[in-house]
Amino acid sequence: MKDKQFWIIGAAITVAFLIFWMLGHPGFNGERIVMFVAIVGMAGTLIYYIRIAKRGDSFFLRTIPGLKAVEEAVGRSTEMGKPVLYVPGIMDMDQVETVAGVIVLGHVARMTARYETSLNVPVSRAIVMKAARESVREAYTLEGRPDLFHEDIVHYLTDDQFAYAAGVNGIMNREKPAACLYMGKFYAESLILAETGNSIGAIQIAGTASQAQIPFFVTACDYTLIGEEFFAASAYLSQKPELMGGVKGQDMIKAGITIVIILSVILRLFHDLGWIGWDVLNFLTVQ
């Protein structure tokens, strides 16, 4: 689908929607128009850039130190003949961070398959156990080493936050992994893991969007993927065009949001000065 077609379809949809809106938008909740425009606008931007990436244009992406270190960490474990410990967070597949953690696990599993390093993935949710096993099995077959894969690489400990942390602590003290990767959604147990990982002298790389845990990872780990950097990780590691396009699309949306913020500050200024009656604040209040 060439650029020209994309814009024609886009224009057609907008015109159709305007006509529908003029006709009194039957069956459409008018109050949530801002969210609707935001969703369609942002999804459209993402699709536009994903399409360009698929067509072959390459994008420049700045380096993220934490991701470069993942390959080094797996290499280090291979030299020392020690396992790699991968913790995909303690939440379920309904959290997008957990799903992102399982994606990064897939790439790490390809590295451990290539380097023939042993991989240990303790999980705290049954659905995650299933998804992680599929992801690791797929990675080992893609690297041509299905023989190295066995089900117990990914094993379930418990659903409870602290029983899980205690269990992972036990694994760290017993197996002494050379690299500990924490990728997913974390709560208070993040420090128990990072502190124990510190005391066994492992390289620690963390990636999470859990705001409250980022400070502990930043101070206690060697590298930390902060918030959005963690979500962009799968694009960086896979170099898949549609994922790279997605990251580029997100950047464009961020630029758009910055402009909207500045615009709404100015509009509020005008409103407060009485120059315009229209109040931007209740426009942005969504029911």
Partner 1 sequence: MKKIADFILKIGEMDRRWIFIIIALVVLLPLFFPIGLPIRPTDSTQTAYDAMDDLEHGSKVLMSFEYGPSTKPEIHPMTYAVLRHLFKNKHKVYITCLWPDGQFMAEEAIEEIAEQEFNLTYGKDYVLLGFRPGNEAVVKGIVSNIRKLYSTDARGTLTDKIPMMEGINKLADFDFIFTASAGYPGTVEWVQYGADPTGVPMSTGVTSIQVNEVMPYVQSGQVKGILAGMPGAAEYEKLVGIPGIGTSGMDAQSVAHVVIVLFIIFGNVAFFIERQRQKKY
Partner 2 sequence: MILKRHIPILIVTVIGLLTLFGWFIEQPTIQAFVDDDATQWYDILASFAIILGAMNLLKMQGRKVIKQQEGWGYSLFAIGGFIFSILAGFVIKGSESVAWGTHVTSKGTLFKWMFEFMFTPLSATMFALLAFFVASASYRAFRIRNFEATLLLVAGIIIMLGRVPIGSYISSWFVMYILVLLIGIAVNVKFGNKMITFSSVLTGLLIVTVAGMLTGWPIDQPGIFYLPIIQEWIYYNPNVAGARAIMIGIGLGIFATSIRYILGIEKSYIGE
Partner 3 sequence: MTFGTILGAWVAVFLTLAIFSYLYKDNPFYKIAEHVFVGISAGYWASMFFWTQIQPNLFGRLWPASEYNADSFWYKIYNGLHVLTSAVFPEGGIDKGHDMHLIYLIPFALGVMMLLSVSSKLSWFARWGIAYTVGMAAGLRAYGFLNSNVIGQIKGSAMQFVGGDLPFFALIGNSIFNNIVILVGTIAGLAYFYFSKEHKGAFGKLTKLGIYFLMISFGASFGFAVMGRISLLIGRFVDLIDYSKPQYNHATIWILIAMIVLLGYNAFKDRGKNTPVSEDAA
Binders of partner 3 in range 192-231 (CB under 8 A):
199-201, 211-212, 214-216, 218-219, 226-229
**84 binds, options partner 1, partner 2, partner 3, none, Cβ within 5 to 8 A by partner type:** none
260 contact, one of partner 1, partner 3, partner 2, none, CB 5-8 Å limit per kind? partner 3
Please report, as residue ranges, which positions from 25 to 64 form the binding site for partner 2 (by CB under 8 A).
27-29, 32, 35-36, 39, 42-43, 46-47, 50
Q: Using CB under 8 A, which of 215, 259, 263, 272 touches partner 2?
A: 215
| Contacts (CB under 8 A) with partner 2, residues 139-198 | 155-163, 165-166, 188, 191-192, 194-195, 198
CB of 202 closer than 8 Å to CB of 186: no
CB of 262 to partner 1, least distance (A): 17
Q: At what angle do helices 96-115 and 228-238 cross, to 10 degrees?
A: 40
Asked whether position 47 contacts partner 3 by CB under 8 A, the answer is: no
Angle at 70 between CA 189 and CA 88, to 5 degrees: 35
Report d(CA 145, CA 74) in Å as an integer.
17
User: Is residue 126 within the footprint of partner 3 (CB under 8 A)?
Assistant: yes
Q: Toward partner 1, which CB reaches closer, 63 or 287?
A: 287
Neighbours of 79 (CB within 10 A): 10
212 binds partner 1 per the rule CB under 8 A: yes
- What CA–CA distance (Å, rounded) separates 115 from 103? 19
Task: Return the structure tokens found at 25.
Answer: 């938008």
Cα–Cα distance measured from residue 171 to residue 175, given in angstroms and rounded to the nearest whole number: 6
- Specify the pairing of strand 84-87 against strand 223-226: unpaired
262 binds partner 3 (CB under 8 A): yes
At 93 the three-state DSSP class reads coil
Indicate the residue among 78 and 250 with the shorter CB distance to partner 2: 250
287 binds partner 1 (CB under 8 A): yes
